[in-house]
Amino acid sequence: MPGGRSEATGELPQDRQDNVRVRNMLINKKSPHGGDIYTNQVRLDFSANTNPAGTPEAVREAVRSSADNCAAYPDPYCTELRKRIAAAEGVPENAVLCGNGASELIYAFAYSLPAEKPALIVSPAFSDYETALCAAGVRARHYILSEYSGFRVNYPPAGSDLSRYGAVFLCSPGNPSGVTADVNVVRLLAGSGVRLFLDLTFLDLTNEPDKYDIPELISAYPRVTVLRAFTKSYAMAGLRLGYVLCGDESFLTEMSGKSQCWNVSVPAQAAGIAALGCRKWLRDSVIKISEERARLTEELRKLGIRVFPGEANFLLIYSETDLCGELLKRGILLRDCSDYIGLRKGFARIAVRTGEENDALISALRDIVAHAAADDDLKEKNNGAIPASPSLPPRKTSCAPGETPPYIAFLKKSTR
């Protein structure tokens, strides 16, 4: 498969080309995503930004009950699930396509694009956009948002002519920035004629879940494909369930042809149907997320950590101190964002968790910042270097009469 190119970075390094070609289960490759609690020794996971309220009990019960039906193949059409999604979203059933998590649908979308045109990714962004494009043989180019504008999207990306692109990928709220795109920006992109992949997987976890009129958007602009997922909103990452909405039925059929049959399991379909009945539970959880996000932002800033204003259930931060490495020593996992295009070493993403978990994170960060400050003081006193701790000389078991033992002499000397 051809490797991808990035407008921002030029030819991809060989190791990155190898990584972006991986589509299936990871073997002998480092996972490029958060949530890897299996490789790391973790007691608190702040790297995966799922709903901190956990999986709703109604969803758990649906999964348990579905075990009685696991001997049968799943419904390949997701008939009942699509019906419920269509009703919840206010769109026709033929505008809904379900998949094995959002990632499968990203790949199906990429494989349905024309290979002769590059696709534009508004970055920094979820790495699977580029991974999927490269796997499909589509060149990936990046429009990098400004750090100084808080990674907000300004129209039009990469100039006024978007016709040279086969598609534009836009995530709102952005991952990892947590910033939503202005409604007018989305409408202008949709009206440009380019095929727009609008990733709204985190929108339900903001204070404006209905920010965009999705039924009107996909009806007026058939070249818009909206991505949604149960993964984040209902903490169902282990079940893998997402869906897209699109007014272009022929394009959805094309995407369907790029997916496997029976791709949504019996438990996942049951869980999705149950989750759609938990809307009040979701809204209540978002109230708590919003409160904790504000508190966490304030506490992080008190510690001198740069926090970018976010609207979702995670925060993008920057620090000169290696917070990811130091926290991992304490069993706390963050999402190191130094591998995102448009970011650099020092950037990290922190999920907004429960009050108790956030308190534990803040306490650990206070300890790290205090130690870093002490080290800086030592460096300043010693011309930029931290002195090595002196080592004791070998201790004698005996000495001549009147002789001072060498380790006593050493201690007296070192304390003068």
User: Rounded to an integer, what distance in angstroms lies between the CA atom of residue 1 and that of residue 99?
Assistant: 24
Q: Is the pLDDT of residue 37 over 60?
A: no
Burial class (CB in 10 A: 0-12, 13-18, 19+), 158: middle
User: pTM value?
Assistant: 0.83
Range 400-416 average pLDDT = 41
Q: Taking the CB of residue 371, how many other CB atoms lie within 10 A of it? A: 12
Task: Give the containing element (helix H, strand E) for 257.
Answer: helix 249-257
Q: Is the pLDDT of residue 221 over 80?
A: yes
Domains and CATH numbers, the chain: 5-33+54-279 (3.40.640.10)
pLDDT of residue 383: 63
How much is the CA Rg of the chain, to the nearest whole Å? 26
Task: Count helices and strands (H / E) in the chain.
Answer: 14, 15
With a CB cutoff of 8 Å and minimum separation 6, the contacts of 363 are none
Q: Is the pLDDT of residue 31 over 70?
A: no
pLDDT of residue 345: 96
Per-residue pLDDT band at 34 (split at 50, 70, 90): low
pLDDT of residue 409: 40
Q: Is the pLDDT of residue 408 over 70?
A: no
| Lowest-pLDDT choice from 72-81, 324-333, 372-381 | 372-381
User: Considering the chain, what is the average pLDDT of its residues?
Assistant: 85
Per-residue pLDDT band at 122 (split at 50, 70, 90): very high
pLDDT tens readout for residues 194-204: 999 999 999 99
The two beta strands, 224-229 and 242-246, are: antiparallel
| Lowest-pLDDT choice from 1-15, 47-61, 67-81, 336-350 | 1-15
Range 372-401 average pLDDT = 54
Q: Is the pLDDT of residue 77 over 70?
A: yes
| DSSP SS3 for 284 | helix
pLDDT of residue 38: 54
Contact criterion met (CB below 8 Å) for 188 and 156? yes
Range 75-82 average pLDDT = 97
